[in-house]
Amino acid sequence: MVKKIEEPKSFDWKSLYLYAVSLITLLICLFAVISMIRSGVDVAFPDYGYMDPYAQTNGVKVDQELVKQANIDQNRRNAAKNIVGSAATLLVTAPLYLYHWRLVRK
């Protein structure tokens, strides 16, 4: 009985490319989702920032509540911008991931 010797398979660059792109786009999607969640929390619970009670105002009376509300509004705007940016990243990378993963599965 003769034992058949298997030849080593050649390296498949196409599969390596497809797996690498799938991994990278999946990671980008995960980071975008995490960023969206964090920004959503920032919208719901904004940080009012630090206000120095000893800051010099050069004789002008500054209403601390107005400054606090301005900081909250600014933080909410920034969080909303981050949500939009993360959603755009997700809209670009999710189809790329799905396309490459389907090619890998074939």
Question: Span 47-64, mean pLDDT?
Answer: 71
Euclidean distance between the first and the last CA atom of the chain, given in angstroms as a whole number = 36
* Number of C-beta neighbours around residue 102 at 10 A: 11
CA 100 to chain centre: 20
Q: Report residue 11 as tokens.
A: 């390296």
Q: What is the domain range of residue 97?
A: 13-46+64-105
Domain total for the chain? 1
Check: pTM over 0.85? Answer yes or no.
no
12-32 pLDDT per residue, tens: 888 899 999 999 999 999 999
* Number of C-beta neighbours around residue 22 at 10 A: 20
Q: Is position 18 within any domain? A: yes
pLDDT of residue 94 exceeding 90, the answer is yes
Q: Is position 57 within any domain? A: no
The pLDDT-based confidence of 8 (bands split at 50, 70, 90) is low
DSSP string, 37-63: HHHHHHHHS-------TT---TT----
Alpha-carbon span 95 to 66, nearest angstrom: 44
